[in-house]
Amino acid sequence: MAWMSNQRGSSSSSSLSSSFSPTQWSYDVFLSFRGEDTRNNFTGHLYTALCQRGLNTFIDDELRRGEEIAPTLIKAIQESMASVVVFSENYASSKWCLDELACILDCKESKRQIVLPIFYKVDPSDVRNQRGSFGVALSRHEANFKSSNSSSSMDRVQRWRAALTQAANFSGWHFPDGHESKFIHNIVEEISLQTSNRTYLKVAKYPVGLESRVRDMDELLSLGENDVRMIGIWGLGGIGKTTIAKAVYGSIAHKFEGNCFLANVREMSSMPHGLVELQKTLLSDILGGNRKFKVTSVDQGANTIEKRLWNRRVLLVLDDVDHRHQLDNLAGGSNWFGRGSRIIVTTRDKHLLTAHGVNLTYKVKELDFYESSELFSWNSFKRDKPPNDYLKLVGRAVCYTKGLPLALTVLGSHLCGRSIEEWKDALDSYEIIPNKEIQEILKISFNGLEHFQKEVFLDIACFFKGEDKDQIVDILRSCDLFPIISIRVLIDKSLLVISEHNTLTMHDLLEDMGKEIVRQESPTEPGERSRLWFHEDVYHVLTEQTGSTKVRGILINMPKKNDISMSAEAFSRMKNLRYLINLNASLTGNIDLPNELRLLNWYRYPLQSLPSNFHPKKLVALKMPSSNISRFDQGSMVT
């Protein structure tokens, strides 16, 4: 998923990407150690084991000279994902080691690096409190600096003391004595796991516009509060929910005791034992180490998560959730997690969040016109603005996609490098047959609906978009489609919106998706489809009498005034026709209306009465604007 900037005019993709792109580490591990103590034994063996495990590890092989830490070492520390500090007997006697340690802790704060201490044959409390050899070494440094009468040097010692205390409080390993090779093996396993878990997520190729949305999420997260919060990100498929979640996760993960980003929960849960595997991943990522969690059932996994995480401050992202049982068994309640924890859920279904008690929600909005234009340009031209001769075509593409990042990215990439004539042809084709890749993403929500909910969605997409909700509810109810709950479900799944004027509306690409679903019912013969709205298909079916019992609705809206000559059999073949909406066509010939009609809307109906053999006992809506009708024959009276 790519994103656009809310900045107007020119912008730099590289600078915009820097906020949300993963850090490019030169090294996995930086080793800080006292060479005279451990270079040729413990640290040397640890370095070899790390390299054999495939971890790119920096070790300083140069003899250290001078008073100041070398710039090459500072650079190596800054470019390492993790720093392993080997505290040994004479570590504090080296000013280089102490400066390294202070630099390492600065990078932990500024770059969210991992710091792992090893107490090699020294007591952690001696390091923490500067006792024993550590206290002696620091006293000597102070004495030397006092003799030079340098206040800056004394500040340097205080910095070292604070760094030793801070580092000694981190979780690490203590090796008083014993089997070194086994000890090193365990350390390498842990480092390997932690560095793999801290490989930051790739957010977006063009993450412009993302900052404002992350700021919105920051307000909901309120990390300064010590409560447990569940926040839902919801919206239409392809709108950027996962992108926002990744960006938020990458910016705050370092502030928690444990973190986990569970991607593709919907897809993973559909696989055999998929939910159990997700539970195992959650426990392993957050608790870390070499722990092997034996989870044989979903119930056991849920119980283990609750028992093991109730006192830990964690960040958990559950991405693309589509069923209540996923939430119940991965993040059952706020009491499953320690104070200060944050659980973020992305979903297309707002009702899932409501049913799970998630009260803090963020609905993702479409990109505005300027953002859409820029995103499309980056994908199609690799620049923030299109060439002048493509301006109108870009505007047409942006209007078609209606601010959906997925569609802008897919179409922009598809048209990249193509000629103007190819652009025109492609855009013409999309207006008739929508892009398949976009449709497949949007259809995920549709596929999860009940049968009658699908019927309501398709009726609205084909006939009733923009119509008054209350009037359409009555019509849909007459077709046994349970419209009130169906419409509510469609709204919760981001497939439908009720406007401030109480009209039914949906994203244009969803409308296109619904119509394409109907078209695929019979790609070559329109008369075998359930709904007809495209003027060429309607003309063909009515003039060739190819309609069938499968047709349940017809919308006649000709591009220009047109007489359609038809026989009495044209409608009589469509015995299950529920909706007949004629907006502008002049139908000539005998008209035989099906008795199953619920809605009859006919502009300028030419006759003075309805057909005598029409018995509209199921009709609930009759609209005859500007018509010649003056009476209802007794046989055609609505009862």
Please identify every residue annotated as catalytic: 100
Three-state DSSP string of 447-502: HCCCHHHHHHHHHHHHHHCCCEHHHHHHHHHCCCCCHHHHHHHHHHCCCCEECCCC
Q: Are 134 and 92 in contact (CB under 8 A)?
A: yes
Query: b/e per residue, 468-481, with b = 16+ CB within 10 A?
Result: ebebbbebbebbeb
**Which residues is 259 bridged to in the sheet?**
315
Contact between residue 595 and residue 614 where contact means Cβ atoms under 8 Å apart = yes
Q: What b-and-e string marks burial along 484-505, b requiring 16 or more CB atoms within 10 Å of the CB? A: eebbebbbbbbbbeeeeeebbb
Cα–Cα dist 4/375, whole Å? 5
Tokens 């139908």 belong to 587
Q: Which of 284, 288, 331, 289 has its CA nearest to residue 310?
A: 331
| DSSP-assigned letter for residue 613 | T
DSSP secondary structure string, 392-431?
HHHHHHHHHHTT-HHHHHHHHHHHTT--HHHHHHHHHHHH
241-252 vs 210-221: helix crossing angle, rounded to 10: 60
3-class SS letters over 320-380: EECCHHHHHHHCCCHHHCCCCCEEEEEECCHHHHHHCCCCEEEECCCCCHHHHHHHHHHHH
User: How crowded is residue 157: how many other Cβ atoms within 10 Å of its Cβ?
Assistant: 18
Report the C-alpha gap between 427 and 398 in whole angstroms.
11
Distance of CA 584 to the CA centre of its chain: 44
| Three-state DSSP class for residue 244 | helix
d(CA 133, CA 111): 31
What CA–CA distance (Å, rounded) separates 479 from 528? 20
In the chain, the largest separation of any two C-alpha atoms, in whole Å, equals 118
Residue 283 CA to residue 286 CA, distance in Å, equals 5
Count of C-beta atoms within a 10 Å radius of residue 212:
11
- Kindly give the interhelix angle for 369-381 and 391-401, rounded to the nearest 10 degrees: 120
Q: Which residues are CB-contacts of 163 (< 8 A; sequence separation ≥ 6)?
A: 98, 101, 102, 105
The CA angle 525-529-531, to the nearest 5 degrees, is 130
Residue type, 364: V
How many other CB atoms are there within 10 angstroms of residue 111's CB atom?
Answer: 15
DSSP 3: B
Q: Which residues pair with 317 in a beta bridge?
A: 261, 344
The CA radius of gyration of the chain, in Å to the nearest whole number, is 34
In whole angstroms, what separates CA 163 from the centre of its chain?
39
Extract the tokens encoding 529: 């489809």
